[in-house]
Amino acid sequence: MVLSGASTGEYQALVYATVLYALIGVAMGIGVGIGLAVLGMVFKKLSDPRAWSLGFLGVLVPLGLVIARYVVNKVVYAEQGVPMTGNLAILGAFAAIALLTLWLVPIVLTKTPLRMLAEPRGTAAAYSGILTLAAIFSFAPSGEDPAGVLAPENPATDAPGGAPDAVLVVIDTLRSDVLGAYGDEGGLSPNIDKVAAEGVLFEEYITQASWTRASFASLYSSMLPSGHKCILKAENLPDDVVTLAEVMDAHGYATGGLPNNINVTRSFNFQQGFDYFSYQAPSYIAGAAESSAQLSMYNVLRKVRDKVTAGSYTVTDYYQPSEVVLENARGFIEANREKNNRYFLVVHLMEPHDPYFAHPYDGNAVGRAWNPNPDPSEAPRLKELYRNEVKWVDQELGKFFDWMREEGAWDNTLVVLTADHGEEFQEHGGWWHGITLYDEQIHVPLIIKPPGRELAGARVPWQVREIDVAPTIGTFAQAELPPTWQGKDIFDSDAKSTIEQMLNPPPPPVLPEDEDGVADADNDGEAQAEAGPVVTPETLARVAVAEQNFEGNDIQAIRKGGCKYIEANEGNPRGLPTTALFELDGDPTEQKNLAGGDAGRCDPSALQSEMKDTIATSADNEITNDEGEMSCSDCERLMALGYMSDCTGPCGG
């Protein structure tokens, strides 16, 4: 039995392996039995014990070889493939065991009480004994929950009384232009729109990368990718970064995370700071659990299944749907409310990410993994599938938010709703995400509902950034912010007073009247001067820099003052221009590259030098990038979501 998954603290593999291998053993036993019957006719005097040994070996040696090779590959060769010498050593060991068995077992079966094994009833009793033992083990207490503590008994310190509970909802791959609150008229998002009406909507929110891992790393660490250094596909989130969950945890919050995409799980060190961190992992076929899925025979069966069911897709093979994740979110909130804990919860929903499934599910789906480059004429159809996924998330979120309202867990909770990046539908001749830094990829929704009804209904027109989210949540919690964080509170005093003024414009100044009753317009200038320097959206806007190095496309961008400047490496596989400049007011979809020509009011060299300086300053820290060893199953999950095209390395060929 292979039990490499035992470290996850569950025992299902024991019984699973027993049943699986027993079924295969029965099939092989029938084959071997027929073979032995033929042998028995050839060698008239094949003794019962010898026949028993041959039958035993005939079933167990082939199975044992498969398992042994799997274990040796995993443990000795770190899944890099077993060389010829290794295979020969395994074969040699099995030959020795077989010879020993052939010599020893007939003696045992004739000279000791174990001779009853040679009878059919004895054999059956022995096998059922093994099965029973495995079944008992499989129901044994599974020890510590690998996800951690749902509701800690004693949070490290007490969060201050006035600090709110906080829920951060990240909808993977959600564009802003599909939401009603951002101007779409398709009615896909009534529930998200309702949150926007109760809170503050940010019209210009920019993420610092356009693929899940690098973007979440910026969200959690409040650093640009050059700062947190979790950029390339093999890179982990370094231990050295200070994450939002770590700050909240140290501040006395019970912290929970429900990641739903392998990129942001324990596999890449994203559990930092979470008391409870439960990967909403894809389900396995035939009811297998994580440990059973490590079985070599399971993986053989899965490959057979994939061939048979090609063309019919199941959502839970890729991620857990919103209804499942939000049910777990309810569990976390309930458990912590029961204990009177202040809590911080991150909920990760995946529907808009490919594969795009039809609703209701009908087995059809379009996914990057098996259809990396659909014909451009497919854009309307794919966009429609995508929009229906958004509608589905909104419905499920609506039920969850209603439940929070009924529980009394809504009004005083800080709710932040955002996305890690957007998605391309041929706007620049491509699909999916992660390759470019155009606005369809990095200009995504941000809606913040402060506790109470503070600032309800405001729409903030100035630019804010993903790295500002952690400091904003930390400030609401009254936590001390770490000096490494590169963003700042979205509601700092200038921003907050401006938003308040936008919501409640001061009454027009009462002008002194002349004797004839006509207002004296000449006094306007004096009234203005007394109000002090004017804070405008231009002065409140924050400079956004984004970075990406994905599949050979090494790109940096800066977005400032209605201008956007992008640099890409020479010969990048996507075919992006090495420099691009857009004037966003007149060209919001970035179709007219002004680089090298008349730059209008945008100054490419000033933008370039500010971009380079910002990145250099951000990179100047002690954090080293942390490249992990990717396991075969992690690689296959990345491949299912289109992030890897080849797993022969981690999976050993």
Coil, helix or strand at residue 257 = strand
CB of 429 to Zn ion, least distance (A): 21
CB of 466 to Zn ion, least distance (A): 12
CB of 268 to Zn ion, least distance (A): 13
Residue whose pair of structure tokens reads 């026949």 in the numeric block: 51
Q: Which is nearer to Zn ion, 427 or 454 (CB)?
A: 427
Q: Report whether 449 contacts 568 (CB < 8 A).
A: no
CB of 177 to Zn ion, least distance (A): 17
**In Å, how far from its chain's centre is CA 137?**
32
- In Å, what is the CA distance from 11 to each residue of 8, 145, 239, 436, 618? 9, 12, 30, 44, 45
Q: Which is nearer to Zn ion, 396 or 420 (CB)?
A: 420
CA dihedral sign, ordered 235, 239, 240, 246: positive
Separation between Cα atoms, residue 467 and residue 217, nearest integer Å: 10
| Residue type present at position 93 | A
Q: Report whether 174 contacts 419 (CB < 8 A).
A: yes
H helix count then E strand count, the chain: 19, 18
Q: Is 38 exposed, middle or buried (0-12, 13-18, 19+ CB in 10 A)?
A: exposed
- What is the residue-wise DSSP string for 419-470? -S---EESTTS-EESSS--SHHHHB--EEEE-STTTTTTEEEEEEEEGGGHH
Beta bridge partners of 418: 170, 446
CB of 575 to Zn ion, least distance (A): 23
Separation between Cα atoms, residue 36 and residue 438, nearest integer Å: 69
Q: Which is nearer to Zn ion, 79 or 420 (CB)?
A: 420
CB of 264 to Zn ion, least distance (A): 8
Q: Which is nearer to Zn ion, 220 or 343 (CB)?
A: 220
Q: Which is nearer to Zn ion, 289 or 393 (CB)?
A: 393
Residue whose pair of structure tokens reads 């599909």 in the numeric block: 178
Residue closest to Zn ion (Cβ) = 212
Nearest to 361 by CA among 309, 422, 316: 316
CB of 214 to Zn ion, least distance (A): 10
Coil, helix or strand at residue 104 = helix
CB of 267 to Zn ion, least distance (A): 15
CB of 170 to Zn ion, least distance (A): 8
Separation between Cα atoms, residue 547 and residue 612, nearest integer Å: 11
Q: Which is nearer to Zn ion, 212 or 553 (CB)?
A: 212
Q: Report whether 145 contacts 9 (CB < 8 A).
A: yes
Separation between Cα atoms, residue 294 and residue 296, nearest integer Å: 6
Q: Which is nearer to Zn ion, 172 or 396 (CB)?
A: 172
Q: Which is nearer to Zn ion, 420 or 439 (CB)?
A: 420
Separation between Cα atoms, residue 223 and residue 619, nearest integer Å: 9
CB of 350 to Zn ion, least distance (A): 8
Separation between Cα atoms, residue 14 and residue 242, nearest integer Å: 39
| Residue type present at position 192 | I
Q: Which is nearer to Zn ion, 441 or 633 (CB)?
A: 441
Q: Between vectors from CA 402 to CA 185 and to CA 248, what angle results, nearest 5°?
A: 100
Q: Which is nearer to Zn ion, 219 or 447 (CB)?
A: 219
Q: Which is nearer to Zn ion, 59 or 262 (CB)?
A: 262
Separation between Cα atoms, residue 481 and residue 478, nearest integer Å: 9
Q: Which is nearer to Zn ion, 172 or 489 (CB)?
A: 172
CB of 421 to Zn ion, least distance (A): 5
CB of 212 to Zn ion, least distance (A): 3
Q: Report whether 244 contacts 479 (CB < 8 A).
A: no
Q: How many CB atoms lie within 10 A of CB 510?
A: 8
Q: Which is nearer to Zn ion, 212 or 549 (CB)?
A: 212
Residues found near Zn ion in the complex (CB under 5 A) = 172, 212, 420
CB of 643 to Zn ion, least distance (A): 9
CB of 208 to Zn ion, least distance (A): 13
Q: Report whether 410 contacts 401 (CB < 8 A).
A: yes
Q: Which is nearer to Zn ion, 175 or 564 (CB)?
A: 175
Q: Report whether 224 contacts 614 (CB < 8 A).
A: yes
Nearest to 315 by CA among 363, 349, 371: 363
